[in-house]
Structure 1
Amino acid sequence: MEPILAYFESIPSSHRSAILVGGIAFFWLIEYLIPLFRFNYKKVQHAGINIFFTLTTIVVNFVLAFLLFQASEWTVANKFGILQWIDIQFPTLSVWWFVLIGVAALDFFGAWLAHYVEHRIPVLWRFHLVHHTDTHVDTTTANRHHPGESVIRFVFTLLGVVLVGAPVAIIMLYQSLSVVLSQFNHANIVIPKVLDKWISYVIVSPNMHKVHHHYQLPYTDTNYGNIFSIWDRIFRTFAVKDPKTLVYGVDTYPAAAENNNLKSLLKIPFNKYRPPTTLNADE
């Protein structure tokens, strides 16, 4: 584990870019071979919109990255946060456990909690809506986030770094895993149900996460996780639904043309609030 941490502590930007692009390319190919849904859409055009939002997310995180590094250095220097407390109380703890706890805790604050709060606070939900309006969920959907949401997510990640007391290496490892697993669980691929079920006991599987993209409540408000599925199980937000019965999108923005227009998507957070129209599951 020490060589892995040493690598991620000084991982070059080019390598981080390769992880992002390589993940999209890999799952894009798998989607052609074993698609869950055979969408009637222009895949390249659809990807273009989502890649635009991927680029804006990269810009937001690049501009604000110095805050993560400063927060990390401060927590380590002042022995503040969960990992720093563990390091003091259990100095002989295996580095594997140290890393696992750190990544899991960052996944909670930076992904699960941020996602849950976005669904509960209307002003934040307006930004997150851009992600949910995608009616053709595939691996490119993973990074379909309005620039405003990218800032919101960064704030939660920054909070996580401080509370967790995460060293830089663990932050970079977490972010790399987060990117790849998000691409994986959004990918439009078929996985045998038994295998997917077993995967979902540990990490967020494609069938598990896609329930979250069903267009109606209560399914929209379930399965918030990104890396580990444990948080949805602990907080009782875990749900199961046959993937073949899913309808992607959100019932308050049903117009396909609107949801595939970049200008319209950028304006969504500033439109008049549209409360959910369906409060019960359709099935």
Structure 2
Amino acid sequence: MDAFINYFETISSSHRAAILIGGILLFWLIENNWPLFQFKYQKWKHARVNFFFTLTTILVNMPLAFLLLRTSDWATSSSVGIIHWLSPLPIWLKALIGLMVLDLIGAWLAHWIQHKVKFLWRFHIIHHADQQVDTTTANRHHPGESMVRFVFTLLAIVVSGAPMWLVFLYQSLSVVLSQFNHANIVLPRGLDRLLSWVLVTPNMHHIHHHYQQPFTDSNYGNIFAFWDRLLGTFQYTQQKNLIYGIDTHPDPQENAKIANLLKIPFQRYRPPVSSQKKDSFSAQ
């Protein structure tokens, strides 16, 4: 355990980049060979848009990284946060609880609030506007959304009391699991039903990317799947019924060009087309 902690305490930027790039390459290869949907698109052209937003996320987070370090150091030295109140527990169990809190606040809560607050939703639309969801969609976030997610990560560190090694572990898991659950693949139904009680699977998260409510407003999780089940936001439907995108921005000329995507948050709010309608199919 000491070696594990030491690795993430001192993890280099090159190793973190390798996790990001390695995850994309791995799931890209898998979805090329066993795709859920046979998209009629130019894969590299589609990926370029998403890679641009991956880069902007990195550029937003890099200069702010010192805030994560300062916040984590303060929480640790001041014994602030949940895991510092659990001193009798073994380190592995405190780390697991810390990861759960980081995921609940830094991912689930941040995601849920972006769906409920109109101003924040405008930034999150960029992620949902992708009509060919694959592993590169995982990092497709407007720079404004990257700022919002960073704030929630800071809050999660304070509440959890996570030391920096645990923050780095959480971020590494978050990147890989997000690439996994966005990948254009489908798990066997039995395996998915079992795995999705604990981890967010592609079958589960793809539903969140269906173009209409109420499925858009469900399955917010990133690492741990049980938050959606516990908090009443879990939905299930057959994968073959899914149509990706968002019903307020269906035009590919608008939702697949970087310049247009950057401007969407500053346009007039468009209410969901299906907000007062029942979806055309029901959960199975």
| TM-score of the alignment, normalized to the shorter chain, above 0.5 | yes
For 1:214, give the aligned amino acid: H
Q: 1:189 aligns with which of 185, 191, 215?
A: 185
Is the Cα–Cα contact under 8 Å of residues 216 and 282 in structure 1 kept in the other structure? no
Matched with 2:77 is 77
Q: CA deviation at 1:150?
A: 0.2
Gaps of 5+ in 2: none
Q: CA deviation at 1:16?
A: 0.1
Once residues 195 and 62 of structure 2 are traced to their aligned partners in structure 1, the CA distance between those partners, rounded to angstroms, is 32
Matched with 2:279 is 281
For 2:279, give the aligned amino acid: A
TM-score by length of 1: 0.97
SS in structure 1 at match of 2:86: helix
Once residues 265 and 2 of structure 2 are traced to their aligned partners in structure 1, the CA distance between those partners, rounded to angstroms, is 43
Q: CA deviation at 1:2?
A: 2.3
Once residues 230 and 6 of structure 1 are traced to their aligned partners in structure 2, the CA distance between those partners, rounded to angstroms, is 29
Q: CA deviation at 1:191?
A: 1.5
Matched with 2:245 is 249
* Pairing 1:267–2:263 present: yes
1:1-283 equivalences in 2 (<5 Å): 1-87=1-87, 90=88, 93-279=89-275, 280-283=278-281
Instruction: Name the stretch that deviates more: 203-212 or 255-264.
Output: 255-264
Gaps of 5+ in 1: none
Q: CA deviation at 1:68?
A: 0.5
Once residues 195 and 115 of structure 1 are traced to their aligned partners in structure 2, the CA distance between those partners, rounded to angstroms, is 26
Q: CA deviation at 1:196?
A: 1.3
Once residues 2 and 116 of structure 2 are traced to their aligned partners in structure 1, the CA distance between those partners, rounded to angstroms, is 40
CA RMSD of aligned residues (A): 0.7
For 1:23, give the aligned amino acid: G
For 2:144, give the aligned amino acid: G
Q: CA deviation at 1:190?
A: 2.6
Once residues 5 and 56 of structure 1 are traced to their aligned partners in structure 2, the CA distance between those partners, rounded to angstroms, is 29
Q: CA deviation at 1:257?
A: 1.8
Q: CA deviation at 1:189?
A: 1.0
Is the Cα–Cα contact under 8 Å of residues 51 and 144 in structure 1 kept in the other structure? yes
For 2:221, give the aligned amino acid: G
Once residues 279 and 156 of structure 2 are traced to their aligned partners in structure 1, the CA distance between those partners, rounded to angstroms, is 33
Paired positions, count: 279
Q: CA deviation at 1:55?
A: 0.6
Deviations 1:81-134 (A, max 9, x none): 1111112xx2xx122111110111100110000000000000000000000000
Runs of 4+ in 1 over 6 A off after TM superposition: none
Once residues 90 and 213 of structure 2 are traced to their aligned partners in structure 1, the CA distance between those partners, rounded to angstroms, is 42
Once residues 254 and 3 of structure 2 are traced to their aligned partners in structure 1, the CA distance between those partners, rounded to angstroms, is 48
Identity of aligned residues (%): 58
Deviations 1:148-195 (A, max 9, x none): 000000000001001111100100000000000000000001321111
Deviations 1:132-156 (A, max 9, x none): 0000000000000000000000000
